[in-house]
Amino acid sequence: MKHFKSLALLAVASIAMMTSCQTTPVAEGDYDNYPVYKGDDLELTVGENGTKFTLWSPTADSVVVRIYNEGMGGEPVEMRYMERKSQQEPWRATFDEALYGKFYTFSIHHNGEWLNETPGVYARAVGVNGRRAAIIDMAATNPEGWENDVRPALNQFTDIIIYEMHHRDFSIHASAGNQYGGKFLALTQEGTQSPEGEMTGIDHLKELGITHVHILPSYDYGSVNESRPDSAQYNWGYDPVNYNTPEGSYSTNAFDPATRIREMKQMVQALHKNGIRVILDVVYNHTFVGDGSNFSLTTPGYYYRHNAEGGYADASGCGNETASEREMMRDYIVNSVKYWATEYHFDGFRFDLMGIHDIETMKAVRAELDKIDPTIFIYGEGWAAAAPVIPGEQCAMKANAYKMPGVAVFSDDLRDGVKGHFSQATGRGFATGEKGCEESVKFGIVGAIQHPQINYELVNYSKAPYTNHPTQVINYVSCHDDMCLTDKMRASMPDADEKTLQRYARLAQTIVFTSQGVPFMFTGEEIFRDKKGVHNSFCSPDEINAIDWSLKRANREHFDYYRNLIQLRKSHPAFRLATAELVNKHLQFIEGTPEQVVAYTLNDNAGGDEWNQIVVAFNGSSEAVEIEIPEGKWMVIANDATIDLAGEKTIEGNKATIAASAALILAR
C-alpha cells in the first residue's frame, strides 16, 4: 500500500482549494442548478493509456478512490485523492497502468463526514454482491461468435408475443432437467426434457411459439446474497443496486466479475440463435435503499425526489422515487438502456412503474434506441404506487401514452375486465361470468384506441382511449404480480373443477391473443402452473414459485390450445393490425349481441390476411348463446375451448352458437 496523508487533513486541504477557485458555489440541494457533465468517460476508462477515474459529485468536498485486489474483504492496495479544477468539473484521478483485474470504490467527503464506499453508479463490472466495481476487459467477456449475433427479424411491434419469466421459476425445478437451473445459462441448454419426455427450457419456448422472452430484473439487485450460491434464496429483483451489471446469483460464479457478463451474453446469444428476442425488466424508478444507495453515496440527494419535509418522496411504495426530470438522472437512464441494448444486444425494455418517470425521459429513451434499432421495443407500467411529486401531465402514465409514440403501456383495463380485480381474489371478470365487462373487453380488442363502437363511459378504469395505435398497448390477463391465472380462476370460481377452470383460462387468453395490440403471458400458464394462491410471491420459496414441468404432460391439451392460439395469431395478420386507421377500417363489432357476449368481424382481408372475413365471438356466460353473423359458409377455427387451425368443420347460414364460457372463431 502506498503512503497517503490522513483523510481528514486532505479533506480540509481540498475544501480550501475548491473555495479559492470557485466563484459561484453550488448550493447543496439546489439540484436543478448542479453543473451537469456530458462526457462519456464517467467513472472508469481503462486501456493502453492507463486507468482514469471520473466522478460526478458537485457537492462533495473531497473524494477518494480505493483500489483493491479483491471484490470483497482485504485492504486497499492503493488509495488516492481525486482532484477537480473547479466545482463545475467532475473529480478525476489517473493511474499510468491499466489496472485490469483490480477492484475499486469511491468515497466522498460531504457535509463534514466521509460517506461509505460505493462502486459508483456507472459500474459495468462488480465483485460479489456488487460492493466494489471491477476493472476488466469487456471485449474478453464476449462469447464465441458474439460478433455474429443478430436480433431475430421483427417487422412491426404487433408481431410481438411476450413471455414473462423469472430465471429461477423457469428452470430450477428438478423436472426442468436443466443442469443450470436458475441461472442465465439455463436458457442456453437445448434438448432438456421433463421426466415424461416433454420439452422444457428453450425448446419449450420454441414449441410454444412466443417471439420475445421478458426476463424479470437481471441487473445486480440487493436481496439475494451472492456469496451463498447453494442456499435457496429467491427474489424477483425489484431492488436495484448496480444498474449496469448483471445479477451475480444468476451466474455460475458471482465472485468473478467477468462470468456474469459472459453468461448473460451467452443467454441472449442462445435465444437469438433460436429466433427469440430478449427483453430486460428495468427498474430505474427506485433503489433498494435510500441513504445507502450508490446514487446517495455518489451525489447525495440529487437522484431522488423529495417530499415537503425534505425526506424521500415515495411514489414507488419502496421507500423512494428517482428524479428522471433532472438532467443527470435522465442521461443516466438513457445511457443505461443504450448500454444494455449495445453491449448485451437486448431487444426491449420493460419499465417498472414507468408512471414515476417523466414523459420527456421516455421520449429520450425512444429516440436513442431508434438510433440503435427502431425495432427495440419499449413498454412499461403506466402507473405508480402513489402520486409522484412532479405534475401528473408530465408523468409517463397510461393516460398519457398518446404523448409517447413508440412507448407501450400495460392495459389493466382489459386485464381486470377479463379476469376480475387484480387484488380482490374472488373478483370475477368477463371470462368468469361477471356481467357488465363488455366495454372493457371491447376496449382491449381495439388496442385502447378511439373506436366509434365503444362506449368509453362503461370501460372499467379508463374513460377514454389512451393509445395512438395498437402498438402502444400490452394486452394481458396476468403477470408476475398478483395471482397467476390458475390461482385467480380457482379463487374466483371455487366450485369449478380443473377442466372448467382451464376453460375459463382459455377464454381469457383467447381474448388476449386475438386482440389488437401486443399480447403478453406469464410463464407456465400454458401448462396451468399455479403459485398455491400466493399473491405477492416476490420472496417466496421455490415450492411456490418454481414451475413443475411434469404439468406439461398432465395438461398437454391445455398447452396445445396455447400453442394453436399463438400459431393462429402468427399466421393471421388480421389480428396484428399496426395502426388505428387499419383497426377502424377493418374491425367492426356485431351490434345487438346478448349480455355477456362480445363479437366482431375483421373484414376485407384485414392486414393482407388470406381470410377475407373473420368472426370472433366471446361468450362469458354459463349458457350457450346464438348470435347473428354475416350470411354464408364459414370454417370453424375455434369453438368450445378447442382450436382447429385448418378449419375442417364448417357451418352455413346467418346464425352461430357460441358454447358456454368459450370463444368462437369463424373464417372464410
Q: Which of 61, 281, 381, 438 is catalytic?
A: 381
Query: What size, in residues, is the chain?
Result: 668
352 is catalytic: yes
- Contact between 85 and 23 (Cβ < 8 Å): no
CB of 651 to Ca ion, least distance (A): 57
Q: Which is nearer to Ca ion, 247 or 412 (CB)?
A: 247
Cell numbers at 501, concatenated: 377452470
In this structure, how many other beta carbons lie within 10 angstroms of the beta carbon of residue 75? 10
Q: How far is the CB of 220 from Ca ion (least distance, A)?
A: 4
* The residue to which cell 443478430 is assigned: 150
CA-based nearest residue to 314, from 407, 217, 389, 415: 389
Q: How far is CA 280 from the centre of its chain?
A: 5
User: Candidates 67-75, 195-203, 243-251, 433-441 — which segment interacts with Ca ion by CB under 5 A?
Assistant: 243-251
Closest separation between CB of residue 415 and Ca ion, Å?
31
User: Which residue, 37 or 236, has its beta carbon nearer to Ca ion?
Assistant: 236
Sequence letter at residue 44:
L
Segment contacting Ca ion by CB under 5 A, of 242-250, 270-278, 486-494, 634-642: 242-250
Under the binding rule (CB under 5 A), the answer on residue 239 touching Ca ion is no
The verdict on whether 381 is a catalytic residue reads yes
The whole-angstrom separation of Cα 92 and Cα 83 is 5
CA distance 351 to 362: 9
Closest approach of Cβ 215 to Ca ion, in Å?
Answer: 15
For residues 484 and 482, give the distance between their C-alpha atoms in angstroms, rounded to a whole number: 6
Nearer to Ca ion, 58 or 229 (CB): 229
**By rule CB under 5 A, what string of x and - marks binding of each residue 632-661 to Ca ion?**
------------------------------
Which range of residues in 46-54, 239-247, 322-330, 371-379 is near Ca ion by CB under 5 A?
239-247
Q: Which helix (H) or strand (E) holds 654?
A: strand 650-658
Question: Of 239, 314, 347, 352, which one is the catalytic site residue?
Answer: 352
Stretch (H or E) spanning 170:
helix 167-171
Minimum CB separation of residue 241 from Ca ion in Å reads 6
**Residue 44 backbone phi and psi in degrees, to 5:** -145, 130
User: How far is residue 327's CA from residue 91's CA, in Å, rounded to a whole number?
Assistant: 19
Residues 353-392 that bind Ca ion (CB under 5 A): none
Footprint (CB under 5 A) of Ca ion, residues 192-221: 220
- Distance (Å, whole) CA 215 – CA 445: 26
Compute the least distance from the CB of residue 523 to Ca ion, in Å: 22
- Per-residue string for binding with Ca ion, 82-101, x by CB under 5 A? --------------------
**Whole-angstrom distance between the N-terminal and C-terminal Cα of the chain?**
80
- Measured from the CB atom, is 218 or 613 closer to Ca ion? 218
Identify which range of 115-123, 147-155, 244-252, 609-617 contacts Ca ion by CB under 5 A.
244-252
- Between the alpha carbon of residue 24 and those of residues 88, 184, 300, the distances in Å are 9, 50, 19
The interface mask with Ca ion, positions 443-482, x = CB under 5 A, is ----------------------------------------
CB of 242 to Ca ion, least distance (A): 8
CA 90, chain centre distance (Å): 33
Q: With contacts defined by CB under 5 A, how many residues of the chain interact with Ca ion?
A: 2
Catalytic center residues: 352, 381
Site residues for Ca ion per CB under 5 A: 220, 247
